Structure 1
Amino acid sequence: MPAEEVTDNPDVSLQHSGAQLRIAAYGPGAENVIGQTDQTDTHYTIANALELGDWEVAEVNPDLQVDVTTAAEPVDARETCYLMNEDGSLAPGAGDCAQFGTKGQQIDDEQAKNVVIVIADGTGDSEITSARNYLHGANGRLEGIDELPFMGMATTFSLEAENGLPDLVTDSSASASAWTTGVKTYDGAVAVDLNGEPVPTLAELARKDGMKVGNVSTAEIQDATPSSFAAHALDRKCYGPEEEKNDESCQGEDFASQYRENGGLGSISEQIVDLRADVTLGGGSDAFDQLVQAGGNWGGNTWTEGDSVLDNAKSQGYQVVTTADELDGISAANTEEPVLGLFSEGNFPRNYEQSIPGIDGATGEAIECSPSPERPDSIPALDHMTTTAMDLLQNDEGFLLQVEAASVDKANHDADFCGQAGEFEEYDQAVQAVRNWVEQSGEPTLLVVTTDHAHTSQITTIDQNTSGLTSRIVTADGDDMVINYATAASNDHDVALGGQNHTGTQMRVGAEGPGARNLLGQIDQTDIAFAVSNSLGLDFVDHEIDLSPQWDSEAQYPVTDSGSTNTAWIIVGAVVLVGVVAILVYTLNARRKRED
């Protein structure tokens, strides 16, 4: 919208927005502001702390107390994060940009057996608030993330490749690399530092320690977030081994060293297979159809040149599934027979049909979101994939699982609120699935729930158009809500629907379980890596992971248990039952013979 139309139009205003806000506290009663609250709750927190009320005050829950006297002091990361070496290279390493270094906050030293990290891509406080309004109403509660007892806030900036200074609006791969490696890097980088050198990931540390590992996403499994968990690449678009079939951002002389025929680590798809995560579920089958360009023994597995990545995976022992029913047929997974689920050629279709905003959407008719027929039942829901993954990963040594709801971000880029709402609902259901699994299994599990970056959508005033595009939506309260999209270069649909951009605000981090208190307060995304690694006893600094090309090398990771703990006990129980039945039959037959 032209500037003069904004400044001279009484129907257009510079407005407040309706996102939830941060609240922090220190001192007696401070723990009562942790988690999801309403502003009116603050009144009672203050009144109860001062014993001003004439109402009955709830008893203290010892499980939610926080002893901040043990907390480490934050470091001045500005002195260590923006590093330039004498030769001009830029190389901040593990923990150099973290607020609390590699040792973390040290509030909570309880150890976890398992860790599950659940990500909603492109989901800032505005997206959380609008989804809650739509799904449950303004004073409702999201049944997953709002129930997490501990909340912190994380900065998300990446670093400029040219000078190592902050890039205040990150992309997803640099962001995901921060929490999977503890190292800040440049936009587009996948688990490499500013010099393009690979750095170890949480998944690799867990594999080295004998834990089981899972990687689940509703995006292409080669996309920014899942790839940063499982691979190392100079650019996030280095999907497959055929360079000419990849995006232009992974073509040419600057990226030739990525490919195996040129001595590199290979494409993201090849490296996903190399990691041999026990469970890998998502989209992206198209890139797995690309043909391998260099063959031989790599890390103990044989790659056949000229065969597709998928065919190589099958020949290397992978159990490949492409539908929800096939996934349900899998009873066990380990590194010798890992599960690779590829349920779509690209990203999963969204759950809701696309909504289209307009210049005058705020003053127009409200719309209601409807399920999309493009999301077939053959594609499993995220909560189902999450629960299945945990069942398959459960074992005596513990597991690490990353789960991503990818398309809150993708819908935001498209200015599609209904798409956002449907994908957010799936994300919150996945969080519920983890909490239910942990309660039922009783296993000490750290759950971390966060996002990679904020995004464009804002809640703005009813009946007030903006300089961007707006959609008017009916919420669960039966009231209307206006969502504004105004970060594209133009409001023309051919630009704006797909051209909305990330924003640079800090992000919410929720946590529950052993080590959860170490994610309270103001942290950086890299601090998440150390909260997780410390809770599992993993070490980003002192490790023996070889990140060089693995031609003619033996496997460097141990084989994991083929069955879950539950499965093992079921088998043991069945054997015992058969034995008991056999003894009873033998006893009865012997008695009959004596009686005869």
Structure 2
Amino acid sequence: MKKFLSFFIVLVIAVSFLAATSHIYTVAEAAPPAKNVILFIGDGMGYGHLTLGRIFKGNALTMDGFTYNGTVSTYPNDPAEKWVTDSAAAGTAIATGVKTYNAAISVDVNKKPVETILEIAQKKGKATGLVTTTRITHATPAVFAAHNADRNAENKIAVDILNHKVDVLLGGGKQHFIPKEQGGKREDDRNLITEAKKMGYTVVENKDEMLKVTEGKLLGFFKMSHLSYEMDRDPKREPSLADMTKKAIEILSKDKDGFFLMVEGGRIDHAAHTHDGAAVARDVLAFDEAVKIALDFAKDRKNTLVIVTADHETGGLSIGGYGQYNFKPEILKRQKNSIADVIASKLTPDNIKQVFSQYLGIEDLTIDEMILMLNAFKEKDKNPSAVANMCADIVSRRALLGWTSTAHTGTDVPIMAYGPYAEAFTGHIDNTDIFKLMMQAMGLDKNIKMGSLSGSLFLYPSHRIKLFWGKKESNEALTLHLHKGCVSDTDGQTYSLSNKNK
């Protein structure tokens, strides 16, 4: 009778799984929760971006070494843009487990605030941090410590983030924290940096100042807007993403209750929007170096979960394009600076050949390419990005680096994990599941509720799951074990989730 019940219950689990409905599994005895969670988000980073970074490096990425990895769907809950998300909606899904409309900052489709993983971690006494290469008020960091119906309301978002009292905030965006008369964008005359100092924050504005801080609340603004692309960064003044990640971990890890840290490589997305392959590659590698900092920290302990993912893919990047079976990375490697932020501003109709030679390493600009560039200058009044776009297009075509869009795409993105509960981040999951799995990993929620499009049962090896038959808990409760897609009962009888008795 017991074995019959065991098989029947496993059959019910399998049927429910195959029907792709939502599931709730209560873990009776689980592994110890992760004390610390470090979440990396490569904004716009798809598989093509990872491949490009690997080719540039000429060796495996740190991200390639994760044992547990999978894919993530990114679509929003938007009536007009059903399949392609922006960073706000995707970030909200990751931070709260709730899908919403594009442009929403941790509010649902009814514009009601939704609690974030950072807020929940704070309530549990954990230290928290946000690190980014974009403005700290930009969509991805904002969704963890702010609530707003419109991602563009960055002055209001700045106030919200400050009021959340996040322990470590490092990135750009000073302009949204100071009034207009001081070069900022605030129209309410508030100086949030002065207010932050009164709240106990140490405020820093360059790398050396940041490195000197060893404890307490830290607020770092290293540029008025976004930080520089990695290939444009002044290493003496502006910290790298790895530098900021290391400092954040150093400070947050002093909290006895653990910490939650989100690290964003935000300019990967910006480079992909402008089809600047060299800038994409350099920022992917900078992101990978930051991942290594966190991974080294986690490997010295057994209590830290490191997750690496993306909010969406940008650009439809492909290695090879334009109908040719080839790719020429050496062309991209000769590029000295980013096109949009540096090279385009140096171009005039009279110096095109000189700038292409000096900054892009292109000595043989063709007549057709010259005509394209001159025409771009004629369009500049109507389209300020015309010159940068044409310059990037010429470089991409020479390198055979393909692009399908200047916007985001709806393709799946990677996810990988290391540490406690890392094995849960495998197979195909939805972006809302990342929040749920982080909650589970930190022991903040005993129930796992997976998204309806998830393709895997996320129960953990060696966890014991108690399933009860009717009300006869004392007599007929069965302890089942899940391992590699199979469930076994206490007698050692094993059943696969394909309903076949092994």
TM-score (norm 2): 0.67
Partner-residue secondary structure (3-state), 1:200: coil
> 2:99 corresponds to which residue?
184
Quote how far apart the aligned CAs of 1:106 are: 10
Quickly say closer, same or farther: Cα 1:120–1:531, change in 2 above 3 A.
Answer: same
> 1:281 corresponds to which residue?
170
> 2:215 corresponds to which residue?
332
Pair 1:207 & 2:129 matched: no
**Match for 1:406: what amino acid?**
G
> 2:241 corresponds to which residue?
382
Whole-angstrom distance in 2 between the partners of 1:443 and 1:430: 19
Quote how far apart the aligned CAs of 1:396 are: 1.5
> 2:296 corresponds to which residue?
436
User: Contact 1:188–1:234 (CA<8 Å) still a contact in 2?
Assistant: yes
- Counterpart pick for 2:222 among 343, 352, 371: 343
Whole-angstrom distance in 2 between the partners of 1:71 and 1:520: 18
User: Contact 1:113–1:443 (CA<8 Å) still a contact in 2?
Assistant: no
Whole-angstrom distance in 2 between the partners of 1:114 and 1:455: 30
Whole-angstrom distance in 1 between the partners of 2:27 and 2:269: 30
> 2:60 corresponds to which residue?
141
> 1:391 corresponds to which residue?
250
Quote how far apart the aligned CAs of 1:387 are: 1.2
Whole-angstrom distance in 1 between the partners of 2:125 and 2:15: 30
**Match for 1:313: what amino acid?**
A
> 1:580 corresponds to which residue?
none
Quote how far apart the aligned CAs of 1:473 are: 2.4
Equivalenced residue count is 368
Partner-residue secondary structure (3-state), 1:277: coil
Whole-angstrom distance in 2 between the partners of 1:475 and 1:425: 18
Quote how far apart the aligned CAs of 1:231 are: 0.5
Quote how far apart the aligned CAs of 1:540 are: 10
Pair 1:272 & 2:132 matched: no
**Match for 2:191: what amino acid?**
S
> 1:474 corresponds to which residue?
330
Show structure 2 runs of 5+ residues with no match: 1-11, 181-187, 335-382, 394-404, 448-502
Off by >6 Å, runs of 4+ in structure 1:
69-72, 104-108, 475-478, 496-499
Partner-residue secondary structure (3-state), 1:530: helix
Whole-angstrom distance in 2 between the partners of 1:237 and 1:203: 21
Quote how far apart the aligned CAs of 1:290 are: 3.5
User: Contact 1:121–1:408 (CA<8 Å) still a contact in 2?
Assistant: yes
Quickly say closer, same or farther: Cα 1:461–1:329, change in 2 above 3 A.
Answer: closer
Quote how far apart the aligned CAs of 1:439 are: 2.4
> 1:560 corresponds to which residue?
none
- Counterpart pick for 1:402 among 262, 270, 273: 262
Whole-angstrom distance in 1 between the partners of 2:161 and 2:15: 36
Quickly say closer, same or farther: Cα 1:327–1:398, change in 2 above 3 A.
Answer: same
Whole-angstrom distance in 2 between the partners of 1:348 and 1:393: 22
Quickly say closer, same or farther: Cα 1:232–1:111, change in 2 above 3 A.
Answer: same
**Match for 1:219: what amino acid?**
T
Quote how far apart the aligned CAs of 1:307 are: 3.0
Quickly say closer, same or farther: Cα 1:277–1:74, change in 2 above 3 A.
Answer: farther
Quote how far apart the aligned CAs of 1:216 are: 0.4
- Counterpart pick for 2:312 among 453, 459, 469: 453
Quote how far apart the aligned CAs of 1:277 are: 1.0
> 1:223 corresponds to which residue?
138
Pair 1:323 & 2:206 matched: yes
Quickly say closer, same or farther: Cα 1:231–1:147, change in 2 above 3 A.
Answer: same
Whole-angstrom distance in 2 between the partners of 1:129 and 1:495: 23
Deviates more, 1:178-187 or 1:530-539: 530-539
> 2:430 corresponds to which residue?
524
Matches within 5 A, 1:61-460: 74=17, 109-136=31-58, 140-142=59-61, 144-161=62-79, 167-240=82-155, 267-290=156-179, 306-333=189-216, 338-352=217-231, 372=232, 374-394=233-253, 395-440=255-300, 442-460=301-319
Quickly say closer, same or farther: Cα 1:465–1:278, change in 2 above 3 A.
Answer: same
**Match for 1:169: what amino acid?**
V
Quick check: which one's strand share is greater? 2
**Match for 1:147: what amino acid?**
G
**Match for 1:209: what amino acid?**
K
Partner-residue secondary structure (3-state), 1:159: coil
**Match for 2:205: what amino acid?**
T
> 2:397 corresponds to which residue?
none
Whole-angstrom distance in 2 between the partners of 1:127 and 1:311: 39
User: Contact 1:189–1:235 (CA<8 Å) still a contact in 2?
Assistant: yes
Quote how far apart the aligned CAs of 1:141 are: 1.2
TM-align CA RMSD: 3.3
**Match for 1:123: what amino acid?**
M
**Match for 1:149: what amino acid?**
T
Quote how far apart the aligned CAs of 1:167 are: 1.5
1:407-429 Cα shifts (integer Å, max 9, x gaps): 11000011101110111011100
**Match for 1:198: what amino acid?**
P
Matches within 5 A, 1:8-87: 74=17
**Match for 1:160: what amino acid?**
D
Quote how far apart the aligned CAs of 1:133 are: 1.4
Whole-angstrom distance in 2 between the partners of 1:75 and 1:286: 51
Quote how far apart the aligned CAs of 1:458 are: 3.0
1:529-561 Cα shifts (integer Å, max 9, x gaps): 0110111122499xxxxxxxxxxxxxxxxxxxx
Whole-angstrom distance in 1 between the partners of 2:14 and 2:153: 41
Whole-angstrom distance in 2 between the partners of 1:522 and 1:308: 45
Partner-residue secondary structure (3-state), 1:435: helix
Whole-angstrom distance in 2 between the partners of 1:436 and 1:70: 38
> 2:441 corresponds to which residue?
535
Partner-residue secondary structure (3-state), 1:228: helix
User: Contact 1:447–1:513 (CA<8 Å) still a contact in 2?
Assistant: yes
Show structure 1 runs of 5+ residues with no match: 1-68, 80-98, 241-266, 292-304, 353-371, 479-489, 542-596
What percentage of aligned pairs have identical amino acids?
A: 31
**Match for 2:219: what amino acid?**
L
Partner-residue secondary structure (3-state), 2:313: coil
Quote how far apart the aligned CAs of 1:149 are: 0.9
**Match for 1:216: what amino acid?**
V
